[in-house]
């Protein structure tokens, strides 16, 4: 799936989404960044118009903010709202993180926000990299964006769709220091896949990075992030399973991988006191379509473990929420794969595979929201069944 990237030139009214600018701007009323419908809907998400009644004119997104000045990810949840004819990234004011008490203060009118959306037919996640012209760490990048795209903006056009590969080439040619988060930003999903041994991720990185390659620091950071997201996904699933159990709509269960890190599954579901199903949580902070990495030990358990085995795909994972789709009874699929590996030469084994989620029969999406103040909750109902 092609990445959906837009470049936003920040106006004075856009800046007041950030608490510092809202408090310091006399008469400020807007708490949103405007998203031009001609780009956000017509170009990036044309299927969104047909979803407005279902979505009630709002889309909940996991938003990760990078920058300005090379600052790392600040993850929050916000809404994209349709208000009359306008679309806005909206919600509560964005405050400076406690450990970075002046982070967003240097932003001024004319700074840029690179927006990377994922999801279809509406966005589920958005990554935003802020580029501040007055910060030395961003000066080169701001000048390059201004030179390549500045002339396309006008008082009536503040958002542009830009080609992901074109942006990657621009960033790669700026001589930014190794480890600058804008490089991770543009290659986030490819790095996540490559860090887990994914061929697709490595291929994309070779194409985009060419001679520049990937540093040990970048790959190590991506591997650590993938591990953290995997653990966070299990924690969120554990909390959701507990909610379902307490409400009487879900079974008793056990979190196996919490006590046995090499278990070829994460959870066991029980019925009438007996183990009935195995569950493996496969988590990503990105889109549903990101590759799923499955070990041969997991495939063997799916095919020959003696219990029904389900894959729980958690995506757009953040601290308090995730989206979930479930593929049930994947044992036959695993057995077929293992059969294909049986013809390998003696002494050659396969350790794992990368799977496109769309080749499996995943069910409908469930929204898991564990935040105390948002009532979105579980919209998918009881999906356990037989």
pLDDT of 75 strictly over 60: yes
Instruction: Examine residue 99 and state whether it is found in any structural domain, yes or no.
Output: yes
The C-alpha atoms of residue 111 and residue 107 are separated, in whole angstroms, by 7
Torsion angle of C-alpha atoms 148, 153, 158, 162, degrees rounded to 10? -30
| Distances, alpha carbon 51 to alpha carbons 43, 47, 56, 350, in Å | 16, 7, 8, 43
The mean pLDDT of the chain is 87
Instruction: For residues 119-147, give the mean pLDDT.
Output: 91
- Return the structure tokens found at 7: 């470049």
pLDDT confidence band for 325 (50 / 70 / 90): very high
Query: Do you know the residue count of the chain?
Result: 386
Assess if residue 223 is contained within a domain: no
Q: Tokens representing 314?
A: 């958690």
Residues in CB range of 33: below 8 A, 6 or more apart: 8, 10, 14, 17, 88, 89, 113
What per-residue confidence (pLDDT) applies to 99?
93
- Dihedral over alpha carbons 132, 138, 141, 147 (to 10 degrees): 50
pTM for the full predicted model = 0.65
Let me know if residue 340 belongs to a domain.
Answer: yes
385 part of a folded domain: no
Write down the H helix ranges in the chain.
12-15, 19-24, 37-39, 52-55, 136-149, 164-172, 181-186, 188-195, 199-209, 216-247, 296-304, 331-341
Same domain, 79 and 152: yes
Q: Does residue 334 lie in a domain region?
A: yes
Q: Which helix (H) or strand (E) holds 208?
A: helix 199-209
The string of DSSP letters for 347-367 reads T----EEEE-GGGS-B---EE
CA distances from 36 to 80, 111, 371 (A): 12, 17, 30
What tens digit of pLDDT does each residue of 16-67 get?
A: 999 999 999 988 888 889 999 999 999 999 988 888 787 887 888 888 899 9
Which tops the pLDDT comparison, 208 or 294?
Answer: 294
Compute the average pLDDT of residues 309-337: 93
Q: Is residue 183 part of a domain?
A: no
Residue 212 is predicted with a pLDDT of: 59
Together in a domain, 60 and 161: yes
- Structurally, the chain folds into a number of domains equal to 2
Percentage of the chain modeled with pLDDT above 70: 91
Nearest to 169 by CA among 199, 137, 208: 208
| Confidence tier at 196 by pLDDT (50, 70, 90) | confident
- Round to whole Å and give the CA distance between 283 and 292: 8
Nearest 5 degrees, angle CA 321-CA 327-CA 329?
140
Residues 28 and 160 in one domain: yes
Residue 219 lies in a domain: no
What domain range is 279 assigned to? Answer: 233-369
Nearest to 43 by CA among 152, 150, 194, 162: 162
For residue 185, what pLDDT is reported?
65
Over residues 261-303, the pLDDT tens digits come to 999 999 999 999 999 999 999 999 888 888 999 999 999 999 9
Please indicate, yes or no, whether residues 18 and 134 belong to a single structural domain of this protein.
yes
377 pLDDT band, cuts 50/70/90, is very low
pLDDT value for 83 = 79
Burial class (CB in 10 A: 0-12, 13-18, 19+), 261: exposed
Q: What is the pLDDT of residue 345?
A: 93
**Mean pLDDT of all residues in 61-84:** 87
Q: Which of 171, 199, 218 is the last residue of a domain?
A: 171
Domain closes at, from 146, 171, 196: 171
Residues 147 and 64 in one domain: yes
Within a 13 Å sphere around the CA of 79, how many CA atoms are in the beta-carbon half? 14
Six-digit token string for 244: 């379902």
Q: How much is the pLDDT for 156?
A: 86
Same-domain pairing of 152 and 40: yes
Mean of pLDDT values over 82-92: 83
Question: How much is the pLDDT for 383?
Answer: 44
Q: Residue 292 has what pLDDT?
A: 95
Please check whether residue 324 lies inside any domain of the structure: yes
Local confidence band at 120 (pLDDT 50, 70, 90 cut-offs): confident
Q: Give the CATH number, domain containing residue 253.
A: 3.40.1350
Q: Which of 4-18, 116-130, 180-194, 205-219 is the most confident on average?
A: 4-18
Angle at 125 between CA 120 and CA 130, to 5 degrees: 130
Q: Tell me what the mean pLDDT of segment 353-357 comes to.
A: 94
Confidence grade of residue 178 (pLDDT, cut at 50, 70, 90): low
Residues 18 and 94 sit within 8 Å (Cβ to Cβ) = yes
The answer, yes or no, to whether residue 190 has pLDDT greater than 90, is: no
Same domain, 129 and 240: no
> Which of 32-36, 45-49, 121-125, 380-384 has the weakest average pLDDT?
380-384
Which range has the worst mean pLDDT, 42-46, 170-174, 184-188, 228-232? 184-188
Mean pLDDT over residues 310-324, rounded? 90
């Amino acid at each position: 799936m092609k990445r959906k990237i837009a470049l936003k030139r920040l106006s004075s009214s856009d800046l007041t989404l950030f608490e510092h600018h809202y408090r310091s701007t006399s008469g400020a009323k807007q708490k949103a960044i405007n998203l031009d419908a001609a780009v956000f809907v017509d170009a990036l998400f044309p299927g969104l118009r047909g979803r407005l009644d279902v979505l009630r004119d709002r889309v909940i997104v996991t938003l990760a903010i990078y920058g300005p000045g090379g600052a790392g990810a600040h993850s929050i949840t916000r809404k994209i709202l349709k208000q009359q004819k306008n679309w806005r990234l909206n919600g509560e004011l964005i405050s400076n993180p406690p450990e970075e008490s002046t982070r967003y203060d240097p932003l001024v009118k004319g700074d840029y926000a690179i927006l990377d959306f994922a999801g279809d037919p509406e966005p589920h996640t958005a990554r935003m990299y802020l580029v501040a012209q007055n910060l030395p760490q961003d000066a080169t990048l701001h000048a390059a964006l201004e030179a390549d795209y500045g002339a396309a903006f006008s008082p009536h056009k503040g958002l542009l769709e830009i080609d992901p590969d074109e942006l990657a080439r621009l960033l790669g040619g700026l001589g930014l220091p190794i480890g600058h988060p804008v490089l991770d930003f543009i290659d986030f999903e490819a790095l996540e896949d490559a860090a887990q041994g994914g061929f697709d991720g490595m291929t994309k990185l070779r194409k985009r990075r060419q001679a520049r390659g990937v540093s040990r620091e970048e790959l190590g950071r991506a591997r650590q992030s993938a591990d953290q997201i995997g653990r966070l996904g299990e924690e969120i699933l554990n909390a959701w399973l507990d909610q379902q159990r307490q409400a009487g709509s879900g079974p008793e269960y056990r979190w196996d991988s919490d006590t046995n890190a090499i278990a070829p599954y994460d959870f066991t579901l029980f019925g009438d006191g007996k183990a009935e199903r195995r569950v493996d949580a496969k988590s990503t902070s990105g889109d549903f379509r990101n590759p799923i990495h499955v070990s041969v030990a997991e495939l063997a358990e799916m095919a020959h473990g003696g219990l029904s085995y389900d894959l729980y795909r958690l995506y757009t994972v953040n601290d308090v929420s995730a989206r979930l789709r479930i593929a049930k009874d994947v044992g036959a699929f695993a057995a077929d794969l293992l059969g294909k590996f049986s013809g390998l030469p003696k002494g050659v084994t396969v350790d794992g595979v990368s799977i496109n989620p769309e080749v499996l029969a995943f069910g409908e999406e469930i929204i898991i929201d564990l935040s105390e103040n948002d009532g979105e909750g579980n919209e998918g109902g009881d999906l356990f069944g037989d």
